[in-house]
Amino acid sequence: MRTYFPNLTVLALVVLVVGCDQSGSSDGDADNNGKPVVYATNYPLAYFAERIAGDTAAVRFPEIDGDPAFWRPSDAQVADMQGADLILTNGATYEKWAKTVSLPPKKTVDTSVSFASALIEIKDATTHSHGSEGEHSHAGTAFTTWMDFDQARQQAIAVRDALVKAMPDDKETLNANADALLADLAKLHEDMRSVTTAIGDRPLVASHPVYQYFARQYKLKIESVLWEPETVPTEADVADLKRILKDHPAAWMIWEGEPASESVGLLKGIGVESVIVDPAGNRPDQGDWLSVMKRNIDNLRAVAGRSSN
């Protein structure tokens, strides 16, 4: 009889731990242990905040099915944001929903405000749809700001400053963590510059218009179509691409994610190879933002290698 007691105690502890873990993993009900709550509207900002805040704050990034740029928060999610201590937004018209929801300005930080004058305006954006996300448009300004790693650095600094302002007692920890992140971003910037210099002015084509800042910073010649990795392009899409290729003879198409094998085959048929440069706007299935960016650089080395040959 006595031998059952320890087993029951262990079982109770396991149930308690599992229960706690499950409650902690839910989006809205996470146990913050009294830590300040920081809400981020895309994954790069959430990653920067997690790196800089470390254990000093609970960083929340909602589980979004699809691209966070075309997400719209529910009432409960907006209420969650209102209750947070800090809301990190990307700015640059990334949060198209911001005009129709009520965020507290006191807690909301636009991380791209320091380079607002350098934002790229999108003209004549076409409304389109893909998958179950419904129609969307890329009108406004280009919003994949962090793909220029110098701009990513400025956004990380904005995150650091906002965190320091919100948690002045943790200033030293935050600054130390931020320095480590900024060093990683500087290394990424250098590596990207090195590989894109090797690519030079060889034309490239992007499957989606999300590489404007990337192209500007690293002096790449990129034209865009409106293709999606999981969708096989139609004949009309291929015809549009061929029209672009006449004046812009690209040998590589940059994809946001792993393209369908049929798409890769179609492209190969017209002499275009595929390479993935994932902006990682949403949380990746594996790794983190930094590892995805390193993988992007590795992927581009293939383009550079082919270019230099």
Q: Which residues bind another protein (CB under 8 A)?
A: 72, 75, 78-79, 82, 99-106, 124, 127
Rounded to the nearest whole angstrom, what is the least distance from the CB of residue 130 to another protein in the complex?
Answer: 17
Rounded to the nearest whole angstrom, what is the least distance from the CB of residue 72 to another protein in the complex?
Answer: 7
Rounded to the nearest whole angstrom, what is the least distance from the CB of residue 126 to another protein in the complex?
Answer: 10
Nearer to another protein, 104 or 131 (CB): 104
Is residue 62 within 8 A of residue 27, CB to CB? The reply is yes
Alpha helix stretches (DSSP H) within 200-285: 212-217, 235-247, 261-269
Rounded to the nearest whole angstrom, what is the least distance from the CB of residue 104 to another protein in the complex?
Answer: 5
Nearer to another protein, 100 or 117 (CB): 100
Nearer to another protein, 85 or 223 (CB): 85
Buried b / exposed e along 205-239 (16+ C-beta atoms within 10 A): bbbbbbbbbbbbbbebebbbbbbbbeebbeeebbe
- Residue 115 tokens read as 């380079």
Rounded to the nearest whole angstrom, what is the least distance from the CB of residue 97 to another protein in the complex?
Answer: 8
Rounded to the nearest whole angstrom, what is the least distance from the CB of residue 61 to another protein in the complex?
Answer: 19
Nearer to another protein, 81 or 188 (CB): 81
- Residue 258 tokens read as 């792993």
On the CB side of 238, CA atoms within 13 Å amount to 16
Nearer to another protein, 18 or 79 (CB): 79
Question: How far apart, in Å, are the Cα atoms of 272 and each of 87, 219, 230?
Answer: 42, 20, 18
Rounded to the nearest whole angstrom, what is the least distance from the CB of residue 8 to another protein in the complex?
Answer: 42
Nearer to another protein, 79 or 186 (CB): 79
DSSP 121-161: EE-SPPPEE-TTS-EE---EE---GGGSHHHHHHHHHHHHH
| Single-letter amino acid code for the residue at 125 | A
- Residue 23 tokens read as 């409650």
Nearer to another protein, 101 or 251 (CB): 101
Nearer to another protein, 226 or 275 (CB): 226
Rounded to the nearest whole angstrom, what is the least distance from the CB of residue 41 to another protein in the complex?
Answer: 15
Q: Is 290 exposed, middle or buried (0-12, 13-18, 19+ CB in 10 A)?
A: middle
- Residue 4 tokens read as 């059952």
CA atoms of 307 and 298, how far apart (whole Å): 14
